[in-house]
Chain A
């Protein structure tokens, strides 16, 4: 408003202005239907600011912004403005934008270390809520370099260490903070929490170690039991002969002991020290197989066969697989020879046979019906021994 003489002339100007509207309608008003949107566009009455300011859509707002972020102002002022902007975003929980604002403020490289420390600390807080704990930690470290006694930075740093599970570091930071203010409640709480978590973590490590040791001892015992029975083991990998270095073999064996085969069966030992093996029965005639998950070494083949073939299996088209008819063989792969196993023998007796090699800790046997044509064909051309 240009400065006119006060008093009467103002009133005159007002009167003539008002008189205009007696003849012309006022054009600068809102439209009736969309007055709410137009209301929102006026910066003074805005409820929410738009996230991006388009100078064409909102020329007033763009104009205001260019005043605030005017390059000609001092770096400190600009940085302060960015800080305030960041704080506003932070309050609205828009942490990504807050980080950007704080970064812009830091870019100004103003000479005020306190302001920069606050910018770093605030950015660290925003990063913390975004879950970027390492970035947050970097920021508070930078803040502390500028201002070693900045308590907020120390609290934030301790929280980051806590989230990153660096419990020892968290306690150290808390202690450093408590040297500055010995009664700061947040630090006391953080310290207690970090200490408790550290001790729990130590307990978990001890527990895992003990469990591993127990497992190793068990495996060792099993290995000893196998050795004591003179059972020969062979590694699964092709090209590995039985005379390979004992460490290599026992390692493989131990690995096999700790892992399970796909059906979850493992070599086990009972209270009397007797072993139970997972045993695979193969039926070459019909390309079928059965797995006995715990074949006690003192039990006989015939006992298991009675159970397995109590009812003839579905794949037995000729219904001939009955316990009385069955013949059990094991194969000596090296020499490609078969050994016929009397069903009345126990598993241990067979496993201890000098030509029996247990592969992958799972003894395997072939079963077919002795009198059948398939069996005769299968055995033709192969050397068959009898196991006594």
Chain B
């Protein structure tokens, strides 16, 4: 029996993936490719197959009866690997544009998968820039970003796809100043529409994406006053997921913002620890300026954080909460106090963990591993958090028909 190389085997699939081929053959070939993308070696193999990648992209955007869903899922797994971004974009330079069209098409049934591919792609700077370009070149009359925000904020925008992954896409895009400028435009109503989504019950992906976006926006110090002011009023929306069914006294209750008063006894806190951490970090960013600190203090954030601290089960979130409480309760920012302490040769109470954020055992981690210091840049707010959307790559046997990418929520 002659030995055929894996590359040759893979190349054999190519004819069956062509558009216009018999639908059942296309479907089988797509499933095979999908299974391949489930493993590292499989993906590496596919990386070299430019023609195959191009055919896959064509299938992913093709109308039924083409196996667009499986093709899109294969792309999701491929895009999860940063090493594959270059081959993907080389195979099809218009990949971001075409996927964007699918993701924002109210009628496209696999818009969620398209959005997931974009979420993975936009992690890296080169595809992110390509995506921003694609958004800028949208039809006249409505900017691409506006369409994206609208698709994210309008319930039922797409009757057949939930579009949760547009959250992470936006979060990744908000690394760029241009996106932040659009989101924080005072003459428009953009960031305000995102705020209620911090409480979106049906998807932690969407919630996480929105909170990540807000956190990146809060790097813009000069917008803090506006963000904390009545036109946006961002703080209650950040505190609400952190608040539980606490029974405050009348006096304490009146100090809180309206949204946090008299919460019912069945109020749940944000279940995802990483999102809780991001929320606390966002509030911390808002305390970077003196007026911001005052505002955060005056709106009773301390009460909520105090209760959160006594409830919080995750140690690293608790530490972050402590830092914020110290910052919110004091008049100077924690950095200055820390420096003063060090210079005064007192032991610093602030734990400086140089190690990365402990990764949860879950298949995706929201926050990139980051040293604490880098969250609070002294200079202009250019350093933004990257957004990682990791999909589990379970090795799948070729016979399995279930797709290998992580099941969407």
Interface residues, chain A, with chain B CB atoms under 8 Å away: 174-175, 178-179, 182-183, 185, 187-188, 191-192, 195-196, 199-200, 202-203, 206-207, 209-210
A196-B233, A200-B258 known; 16 new pairs, CB 8 Å cut-off, are: A182-B146, A182-B187, A182-B189, A183-B187, A188-B188, A188-B231, A191-B189, A192-B230, A195-B192, A199-B259, A202-B259, A203-B259, A203-B261, A203-B262, A206-B261, A210-B262
Residues of A within 8 A of B236 (CB): 199
| Complex CA–CA separation, A188 to B185 (angstroms) | 12
| Complex CA–CA separation, A207 to B248 (angstroms) | 12
The main secondary structure of chain B at its interface with chain A is: loop
Q: B150: CB under 8 A from chain A?
A: yes
| Complex CA–CA separation, A174 to B192 (angstroms) | 13
Residues of B within 8 A of A174 (CB): 189
Across the interface, name the chain B residue whose C-beta is closest to A195.
B192
Residues of B within 8 A of A203 (CB): 258-259, 261-262
* Contact across chains for A209 and B192 when beta carbons are under 8 A apart: no
Q: B264: CB under 8 A from chain A?
A: yes
| Complex CA–CA separation, A88 to B16 (angstroms) | 74
* Contact across chains for B230 and A188 when beta carbons are under 8 A apart: no
Interface residues, chain B, with chain A CB atoms under 8 Å away: 146, 150, 187-189, 192-193, 230-231, 233, 236, 258-259, 261-264
**Contact A199 to B189, CB < 8 A, known contacts A182-B146, A192-B230, A206-B263:** no
Q: How far is the CB of B256 from chain A (nearest CB, A)?
A: 10
Residues of A within 8 A of B187 (CB): 182-183, 185, 188
| Complex CA–CA separation, A223 to B150 (angstroms) | 54
Residues of B within 8 A of A199 (CB): 236, 258-259
* Contact across chains for A206 and B230 when beta carbons are under 8 A apart: no
* Contact across chains for A192 and B231 when beta carbons are under 8 A apart: yes
Residues of A within 8 A of B262 (CB): 203, 206-207, 209-210
**Contact A196 to B261, CB < 8 A, known contacts A182-B189, A183-B188, A188-B189:** no
Across the interface, name the chain A residue whose C-beta is closest to B142.
A179
* Contact across chains for A207 and B261 when beta carbons are under 8 A apart: yes
Across the interface, name the chain B residue whose C-beta is closest to A207.
B262
| Complex CA–CA separation, A145 to B231 (angstroms) | 31
Chain A to chain B: the 5 pairs with minimum beta-carbon distance, closest first: A206-B262, A183-B187, A207-B262, A203-B258, A182-B188
Residues of B within 8 A of A187 (CB): 189
Across the interface, name the chain A residue whose C-beta is closest to B259.
A199
| Complex CA–CA separation, A195 to B230 (angstroms) | 11
Q: How far is the CB of B405 from chain A (nearest CB, A)?
A: 34
| Complex CA–CA separation, A178 to B188 (angstroms) | 8
**Contact A209 to B146, CB < 8 A, known contacts A178-B189, A183-B187:** no
Residues of B within 8 A of A188 (CB): 187-189, 231
Residues of A within 8 A of B189 (CB): 174-175, 178, 182, 187-188, 191
| Complex CA–CA separation, A202 to B261 (angstroms) | 10
| Complex CA–CA separation, A175 to B192 (angstroms) | 11
Residues of B within 8 A of A192 (CB): 192, 230-231
Residues of B within 8 A of A200 (CB): 258
| Complex CA–CA separation, A206 to B264 (angstroms) | 7
* Contact across chains for A209 and B230 when beta carbons are under 8 A apart: no
Residues of B within 8 A of A191 (CB): 189, 192
| Complex CA–CA separation, A182 to B192 (angstroms) | 13
Residues of A within 8 A of B233 (CB): 196
Residues of A within 8 A of B146 (CB): 182
A-B CB contact pairs (8 Å), 21 listed: A175-B193, A179-B150, A182-B146, A182-B188, A187-B189, A188-B187, A188-B188, A191-B189, A192-B231, A195-B192, A196-B230, A199-B258, A199-B259, A202-B259, A203-B258, A203-B261, A206-B261, A206-B263, A206-B264, A209-B264, A210-B262
Q: How far is the CB of A201 from chain B (nearest CB, A)?
A: 9
Residues of B within 8 A of A182 (CB): 146, 187-189
Residues of A within 8 A of B261 (CB): 203, 206-207
| Complex CA–CA separation, A185 to B150 (angstroms) | 19
